[in-house]
Amino acid sequence: MAQPGRLGAGSPAQNGAVSAAGPPYSNGPVQNPLKHSQVSVSQGYSSPFPGSYPHQIPAKTPLDPSSGPCNYGGSQTVSSLNSYQGPGQTLNRLPLEPNPVAPLQSTIPIPRMPPPPSSQTPAAVPASSDSFLYGPDPSPSSNWQYGHLPVRSKTNNFVPVSTQPSLSGNTNLSRNNQCVSFGAPSLQNNYMKTGSVPPPTNQPLPTIYQPIQAPLGSPPVRSLDPQKKTSNSVPSQPQLNSAVNQEGGISAANNDSVGESSYDTIEGGGFMAPQLTNQNPKMNRNVGYSYPSLPPGYQNTSPNMSGRPSTTLQYTSGLQPFSQSPLGANHLTTSMGGLSLHSEGLRVINLLQERNMLPTIPLKAPVPNLHEDIQKLNCNPELFRCTLTNIPQTQALLNKAKLPLGLLLHPFKDLVQLPVVTSSTIVRCRSCRTYINPFVSFLDQRRWKCNLCYRVNDVPEEFMYNPVTRVYGDPLRRPEVQNATIEFMAPSEYMLRPPQPPVYLFVFDVSHNAVETGYLNSVCQSLLDNLDSLPGNTRTKIGFITFDSTIHFYSLQEGLSQPQMLIVSDIEDVFIPMPENLLVNLNENKELIQDLLKTLPQMFTKSLETQSALGPALQSAFKLMSPTGGRISVFQTQLPSVGVGALKSREEPNQRSSAKEIHLTPSTDFYKKLALDCSGQQVAVDLFLLSGQYSDLASLGCISRYSAGSVYYYPSYHQQHNPVQVEKLQKELKRYLTRKIGFEAVMRIRCTKGLSIHTFHGNFFVRSTDLLSLPNVNPDAGYAVQMSVEENLTDIQVVSFQSALLYTSSKGERRIRVHTMCLPVVSTLNEVYLGADVQAISGLLANMAVDRSITASLSDARDALVNAIIDSLSAYRTSVLSSQQPGLLVPFSLRLFPLFVLALLKQKSFQTGTAARLDERIFAMCQVKNQPLVYLMLMTHPNLYRVDNLSDEGALNINDKTIPQPPILQLSVEKLSRDGAFLMDAGTIMMLWVGKNCGQNFLSQVLGVPNYASLPLNMTHLPDLDTAESSRIGSFISWLREHRPFFPILYIIRDESPMKAAFLQYMVEDRTESALSYYEFLLHVQQQVNK
């Protein structure tokens, strides 16, 4: 169906036609139709020689290595395979003891998980570095290393980028985290936790299950003999509260005692916790129940009464076999069963013939091939997804597939429904500390088997009561076993200090340059507007620091008639004047705070001080925040110039477009070191960079990256001259100031024994090998991890992954949010391909490519992206397809893989040949690393809609509003027409292109202009018109914008608009001066694959 292009001077559309000799490219659509005023877009359909695209996709084999200025010679060999994956990421867990508690002999049809292999197989992957290459081919052309590196020392706790030698001295965490250090050596996470989530402003109320009964303590070490009757007393019944207030309405029944345990004892380490089991030694169970004499409620447990038939316990008496059907074999349909429902999924596609594979509705995550009863309990893919929904049984199989194995997480996403459990006993595996979840198996009514390490655990007494059904003896109906996403109110054992109060410190650049931009007006006004919506409670504290070449503190002491400014001019050795009055209670001092915010914008208008002492200001902020922890929001408008952390400009304009030797790495480790100090004291730093000049975001960004902060960037911000940026800042500040926040958080990801997590992506610091330290966590942050198969998963039908995020809410509650995902294990390459999740793969590759850009070079990263396609499709062709048909053959699951990789190559992070400013590129990379997958995909491959003819067909109805759902179009000017209007949603930016012959109706009813000629060139808002058309498109755009971390400005574009070039940049399928069209790219890939 794909027309290989209109011109191409007789260009051969067949395989391998690309050569340096002739006009090789038969193009896809080119941006001709729109081109009148667009000089920068290439005109030619057929270029005389490949060299005319000097920055074409670097390929495994360059199209013509000698052509063009871009040097990819030599880049085929990715020299630093070993340096790419940052050393510290390798997990080094203690071996798991097979079954610390002897499992009862049961004749049961064994629940889902087979017993662990009897031998402690060391990592299945040999330590030779070759074996960690992409696949069996250790040749230099392999670019990604999907496996893990040989196990390294635990002390390397750095995320990959941190591997610069200059920073190595700092890698020992313990140095930086001195705040609490007691506990056994193995328990390095001396954490104080507190925590809970600020009330989401727009969240529906979750249900809280709150048992009123006294805690029963942790599970006894010895499993109860069900036949042994010890007591007839039934614990008093927990109450089911449909909570009035999921955040703070109901407080956990904590006592105030602060346990002297470390995070590992609390949240739990990996497979190393046998000695940690009994947290509550005095709580030995003294009540027991005799199953033969069941309380009335027990009868409810027969399968037909259960909402979960296939996993129901049948409570017969005694030790008779239980008939819980396993999650394993019985739950997996025959190997292709799930997919056969969608026979489309089994199709092999020739991309050269079927180019239009983009679905018209948003692409959904593949559904794992599990029995529907299991799948319906599985975690929402928006929160937790895997690049391969069919997990390869062995590392060898994974290597063969040449696809990356990893997880993408959005763990703190705002949720419409979130079950919250208040329970004195949080049921966890005594070996690996996994939280009980829907994918464990119950051996009988008293014992459950961990789905991660296979240990058999006791079901604690309290768990026998189901607060939902108010029935006793029905553990399978407990919310913990019915929900893959759940939140626990953590009892006091989960705290090492009383939960910290919400503390917010704002640090403002007030140098001449900063005052010139006028940003203080916006920021102070936003703060004034949202002061009452800051997440918090009566304990909330707030403070302010300003700086230029000196540092200014503001005393907000009660009783003062106005704020008092204290200037510290010694920036070499900063100290905090009267620290007790600088961070004050928000409620008690609101008037003084408001006074300060009102006067601040005017205070420095006469300042001629041009210097910027950002480093010392941050040091002061750190000192001020250290005792409590909290959030520092720093606003910076230029390159810091004096004191520690001063930077020099490194941007050379001529290098902007080059793929080599640009400064992506920090020029100093000051910001990273300070961030680690902050992390150790539970302080996160968010950076707002508002600067028209180069400000070395590569260095400054480290302050947020390692302290788990966020980065915002507003190039050329100016209060008067750039109203669009002003609006963007205001909108994003509102979201920033009012969104949920979790304090003093840690996150751990566990997976079934045999799998191993080895590399982490996102903003955090990795401590104790796999514990992510997140001084702050917010709902807009995404994370990714890479995994390998360390021990063969032979005979295992399913594996599970669980993330646990322990945090303190803004209401001062300690909470744990747990997500669990279950996936099938497969043994053939074909199945691995069938289950590939192309969005997750692209997202993970993007994260890996950022690392590669930094540790090697941009061109290496680009090569590696292209090779990721070539290698996997080559493997598919040679190992799965039996006949060697012509064309570019891909499994249905990967039909969009080349398109998404091409889109990545054209994305700001990785593109070449454009005038992308260095800071903008770095910011794009920050977003790749920190954005949830859905937004990462949107900024890479935007959605294009035709919007001049919106109808209600297929529309959504939300809160009585009709939200049209127009079909998604391919990103090619071929899809545009001059008589229409098209909306491009690129996540952080939106553009509405209006064609010259656009209908009169749209112009007047939506745009409010009488004709095309009167359409302004710089329009950034749709007028609010009282017409059906206007409200349709208005509600569609607001719906798209909802909940976005970054507010997408809407640019309305006509042919003469300055933004038109940006619009065309996103036309991923078209050729530009410096990049191939999609069709050319496919031809290139095909040539390499079929070699």
* Residues engaged in binding Zn ion (CB under 5 A): 429, 431-432, 434, 450, 452-453, 455
Q: How far is CA 136 from CA 82, 158, 313, 436, 790, in A?
A: 17, 29, 46, 39, 17
Least distance between Zn ion and beta carbon 452 (Å): 5
Q: What is the distance between the alpha carbons of residues 908 and 930, in angstroms, rounded to a whole number?
A: 15
Least distance between Zn ion and beta carbon 187 (Å): 18
Q: Are 453 and 100 within 8 A, CB to CB? A: no
Q: At what angle do helices 918-930 and 838-855 cross, to 10 degrees?
A: 130
**Secondary structure class of 134 (helix, strand, coil):** coil
Least distance between Zn ion and beta carbon 1084 (Å): 48
Least distance between Zn ion and beta carbon 823 (Å): 17
C-beta closer to Zn ion: residue 429 or 675: 429
Tokens (6 digits) for 334? 């025959």
C-beta closer to Zn ion: residue 141 or 800: 800
Q: What is the distance between the alpha carbons of residues 164 and 123, in angstroms, rounded to a whole number?
A: 27
Least distance between Zn ion and beta carbon 436 (Å): 10
Q: What is the distance between the alpha carbons of residues 589 and 540, in angstroms, rounded to a whole number?
A: 11
Least distance between Zn ion and beta carbon 448 (Å): 10
C-beta closer to Zn ion: residue 78 or 429: 429
C-beta closer to Zn ion: residue 218 or 434: 434
C-beta closer to Zn ion: residue 437 or 638: 437
C-beta closer to Zn ion: residue 750 or 908: 750
C-beta closer to Zn ion: residue 434 or 626: 434
Burial class (CB in 10 A: 0-12, 13-18, 19+), 59: buried
| Sign of the alpha-carbon torsion through 1056, 1057, 1062, 1068 | negative
Q: What is the distance between the alpha carbons of residues 843 and 858, in angstroms, rounded to a whole number?
A: 17
Least distance between Zn ion and beta carbon 590 (Å): 49
Beta bridge partners of 745: 774
Q: At what angle do helices 838-855 and 897-906 cross, to 10 degrees?
A: 40
Least distance between Zn ion and beta carbon 750 (Å): 8
C-beta closer to Zn ion: residue 453 or 854: 453
Residues for the chain: how many in total?
Answer: 1091
| Sign of the alpha-carbon torsion through 1032, 1036, 1037, 1042 | positive
Least distance between Zn ion and beta carbon 431 (Å): 5
Q: What is the distance between the alpha carbons of residues 696 and 666, in angstroms, rounded to a whole number?
A: 8
Tokens (6 digits) for 767? 């401590």
Least distance between Zn ion and beta carbon 1051 (Å): 52
Q: Are 786 and 852 within 8 A, CB to CB? A: no
Residue 1071, CB half-sphere, CA atoms under 13 Å: how many?
27
Least distance between Zn ion and beta carbon 451 (Å): 8
C-beta closer to Zn ion: residue 452 or 576: 452
Residues 728, 729, 734: CA angle, nearest 5 degrees: 100
Sort residue 1038 into left (φ over 0), alpha (ψ -120 to 50) or beta. Answer: alpha
Q: Are 1041 and 1050 within 8 A, CB to CB? A: no
Least distance between Zn ion and beta carbon 544 (Å): 47
Burial class (CB in 10 A: 0-12, 13-18, 19+), 942: buried
Tokens (6 digits) for 689? 């960079």
C-beta closer to Zn ion: residue 455 or 758: 455
End-to-end Cα spacing for the chain = 25
Q: What is the distance between the alpha carbons of residues 1016 and 1019, in angstroms, rounded to a whole number?
A: 6
Least distance between Zn ion and beta carbon 796 (Å): 14
Least distance between Zn ion and beta carbon 447 (Å): 13
C-beta closer to Zn ion: residue 99 or 667: 99
Tokens (6 digits) for 517? 């931009």
* Phi, psi for 187 (deg, rounded to 5): -105, 80
C-beta closer to Zn ion: residue 450 or 574: 450
Q: What is the distance between the alpha carbons of residues 418 and 541, in angstroms, rounded to a whole number?
A: 28
Tokens 């990545």 locate to 904
Q: What is the distance between the alpha carbons of residues 212 and 237, in angstroms, rounded to a whole number?
A: 7
Tokens 């591997």 locate to 163
CA neighbor of 507 nearest in space, from 429, 415, 618: 618
C-beta closer to Zn ion: residue 402 or 478: 478
C-beta closer to Zn ion: residue 513 or 800: 800
C-beta closer to Zn ion: residue 750 or 811: 750
